[in-house]
Chain A
Amino acid sequence: MASTIHVDIVSAEGEIFSGEASMVFAPAVMGEIGIAPRHAPLLTTLNPGEVRVQTPAGEEHFFFVSGGALEIQPHVVTVLADTALRAHDLDEAAALQAKQRAEEALRDRTGKIELAEAQAELARAMAQIRAIEKLRKIKQ
């Protein structure tokens, strides 16, 4: 029985895989790499692609990752998978959107948020008035 290496594949939203493997393949940024047990410590980023895990029993598991980081220690491989597709431009666009939303929310003083809020407040006030009136009637 050949030696094995422990593999953890995790993403920010949850654990994806954890178990022993005889061989792991991952799409590193400099090209696909194969990791056998007792690999030298290595740290690299991942490209979007497929992580293949070969178990000692001869099964093969496939996981798609949209990027992330890979850490190798002699007996442990950790794949920190991204859940979202990352690229500099995409991140930049998302940041811009967040800023715009903030500006809109601030500028939009009479906009829909305010309106919804006012309506809710009105409904609450009316309910209060109704309740008070009814209570008065009962007490009389």
Chain B
Amino acid sequence: MPGVKEIRIKIASFKSTQKITKAMEMVAASKMRKAQDRMRATRPYSEKIRRVIGHLRHANPDFRHPYLVEREPKSVGFIIITTDRGLAGGLNVNLFKTALAQLREWQDRGAEVSLCLIGAKGVQFFRRLGNVKTLATVTHLGDRPHVADLIGTVKVMLDLYKEGKIDRLFLVHNVFVNTMSQKPVVRQLLPVVTEDEDKLQKHWDYIYEPSAADLLDGLLMRYIESQVYQGAVENVACEMAARMVAMKAATDNAGKLIEELQLIYNKARQAAITKEISEIVGGAAAV
């Protein structure tokens, strides 16, 4: 039986851990709400830019921008968005599993794979893995990512695509389903897939300043950046939700352990008292 004092110290240490996890849970909950708002705020932009691109493509069916042309995939690029910090349950691990399955699939088909990593966890993971080349990274975006921080990383991949060094570009990130569940997804960024083309049947065209080609170039670039940005913002919301759930579980576990320890503590205390009394009684009897 361990000493009464030792158990008391242990209970105190569990209690302080519980306080920390409880605080982390609450912080994550409030950050998650803010991240969700930001996630919603990004939608109008990508919807509108998508509509304009749809118009442009419809108005100029014979103009083919490289971002829209399907090529034989000999080499593929992945932009993988992960969190910067851990303590978020299985969020990153699930994402890596999905990403790795995709990478293997392409490698088995003989395609060369190159990566662009957003988030410190992804950098750590793929460095340890070591058999794929990483071309660009950006870490420590914080809880409020800015488009400006992503421009460079995305440009590296876009340039490679333009030069024909990669033939397809995918984005891997977590999708916020609800607080309890986040799902890793792989989406194709390049060539751009536009579904809602046939809705526009009007015959009219824009006046372009400068040329249609330049405009489409700029718009497509911004469209892809906004997609990556959206992914990054959504990933923050996922991170916070996952951390909230993980910390709640940790708090509950600590509570359970404390309860068990308290029971052991009470027993030990009782035993000590009984022992003392019997010693006194024994001593008195001897006298």
Whether A113 lies near B124 (C-beta < 8 A) is yes
Chain B, residue nearest A70 (CB): B209
B215 beta carbon closer than 8 Å to chain A: yes
Give the docked Cα–Cα distance between A97 and B116 (Å). Answer: 13
A69 & B219 in contact (Cβ 8 Å cutoff): yes
Is B38 an interface position by the 8 A CB rule? yes
| Contact-residue bracket for chain B | 35 or more
Contact of B210 among A29, A105, A117 (CB under 8 A): A29
> Chain A 15-59, CB within 8 Å of chain B: the 1/0 string?
100000000000011100000000011111100000000000000
* B contact residues around A106 at 8 Å (CB): 127, 134
Bound complex: CA A140 to CA B222 (Å): 65
Is A2 part of the binding interface, using a Cβ–Cβ cutoff of 8 Å?
Answer: no
B42 and A78 within 8 A (CB) = no
How far, in whole Å, are A14 and B86 apart by their CA atoms in the complex?
Answer: 28
Within 8 A of A (CB), among B154-179: 155-156, 159
Assess whether A140 is in contact with B2, with CB atoms less than 8 Å apart: yes
Q: How far is the CB of A8 from chain B (nearest CB, A)?
A: 7
Contacting B159 at CB < 8 Å: which of A15, A95, A138?
Answer: A95
Question: In the complex, A106→B124 CA distance in Å?
Answer: 9
Residues of chain A within 8 A (CB-CB) of B134 are: 102, 105-106
CB distance from B91 to the nearest CB of A (A): 17
List the 3 shortest-distance A-B pairs measured between CB atoms, nearest first. Answer: A94-B152, A84-B148, A14-B41
A-B contact pairs, 9 of them (CB 8 A): A10-B45, A13-B38, A41-B204, A98-B138, A105-B137, A117-B124, A134-B10, A138-B7, A140-B1
